């Protein structure tokens, strides 16, 4: 049985679209069962609907109501009984309420732990690094502090600006996320400290969620 995946987006959903395409292969091991967003105007919602995937929105209402928003988002996600939640360009910090529903996987445009936060590409350029890249990691309650699952390096070329570098990172990170989600779904995983190891523990948790 394929692992059930809920994808969270805030914008165009290009990475989500790559996951939807991969999930059409029965051997991929994961099925996208819903796409959610914090923005009713997110263009990726229309893409998901066109693909026949249920969508939902839970608009963010401000810091003062963050706990209530997290609880409502958690409830919406839980209704789809996911084995994994994938944050694919979802620009909100998720609270414990959401993290307790299912493991959350996030894609970040830098080689963590370097350059966490919302301006990773800009920060890497400002620091003058020669190599940056993309990281797939599990989400915890910090900002890009969860255990690293996989990473791919991208060289910073002379004359790069933020847009050019980010586009080259995007070209590799979609493939990285698709490969990582499929591997987690097919093989499971276990955590040893901060090390993510292949194994059955993730699959066992997935069975418990069903």
What letter would DSSP give residue 100?
Answer: T
Contact of 109 with 152, CB cutoff 8 Å: no
Active site annotation includes 108 = yes
- Whole-angstrom Cα distance, residue 121 to residue 74? 30
- Given the residues 108, 127, 137, 166, select the one marked as catalytic: 108
Burial class of residue 64 in the structure, from the number of CB atoms within 10 Å of its CB (0-12 exposed, 13-18 middle, 19+ buried): exposed
Q: pLDDT exceeding 70 applies to what percent of the chain?
A: 95
In this structure, the dihedral spanned by the alpha carbons of residues 151, 115, 18 and 61, taken in order and rounded to 10 degrees, is: 140
Task: Evaluate if residue 34 carries a pLDDT over 70.
Answer: yes
Residue 185 pLDDT: 97
Q: What is the mean pLDDT of the chain?
A: 93
Q: 75 is written with which tokens?
A: 């409830």
List strand residue ranges (DSSP E) for the chain, in order: 3-9, 30-37, 55-57, 84-87, 104-108, 131-138, 148-155, 189-192, 195-198
Q: 152 is written with which tokens?
A: 């791919």
Q: Which residues contact 151 (CB under 8 A, 6 or more apart)?
A: 111, 112, 133, 134, 135, 136, 176
Q: How confident is the model at residue 170 (pLDDT cuts 50, 70, 90)?
A: very high
- Whole-angstrom Cα distance, residue 189 to residue 199? 4
Digit-coded pLDDT (tens) for 71-120: 999 999 999 999 999 999 898 999 999 999 999 999 999 999 999 999 99
How many Cα atoms are found within 13 Å in the side-chain-facing hemisphere of 146? 20
- Whole-angstrom Cα distance, residue 144 to residue 195? 15
Residue 202 pLDDT: 58
């Amino acid at each position: 049985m394929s692992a059930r995946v809920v994808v969270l987006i805030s914008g165009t959903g290009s990475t989500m679209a790559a996951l939807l395409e991969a999930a059409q292969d029965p051997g991929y091991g994961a099925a996208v069962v819903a796409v959610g967003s914090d923005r009713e105007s997110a263009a990726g919602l229309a893409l998901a609907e066109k693909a026949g995937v249920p969508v939902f929105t839970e608009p963010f209402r401000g810091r003062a109501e963050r706990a209530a928003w997290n609880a409502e988002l958690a409830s919406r996600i839980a209704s789809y009984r996911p084995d994994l939640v994938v944050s694919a360009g979802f620009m909100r910090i998720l609270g414990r309420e959401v993290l307790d529903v299912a493991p959350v996987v996030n894609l970040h445009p830098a080689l963590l732990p370097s350059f966490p936060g919302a301006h990773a590409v800009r920060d890497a350029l400002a620091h003058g690094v020669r190599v940056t890249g993309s990281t797939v990691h599990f989400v915890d309650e910090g900002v890009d502090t969860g255990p690293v699952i996989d990473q791919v390096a991208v060289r910073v070329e002379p004359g790069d600006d933020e847009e050019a570098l980010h586009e080259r990172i995007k070209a590799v990170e979609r493939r990285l996320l698709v490969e990582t989600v499929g591997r987690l779904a097919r093989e499971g995983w276990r955590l040893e400290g901060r090390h993510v190891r292949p194994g059955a523990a993730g699959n066992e948790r997935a069975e418990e969620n069903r």
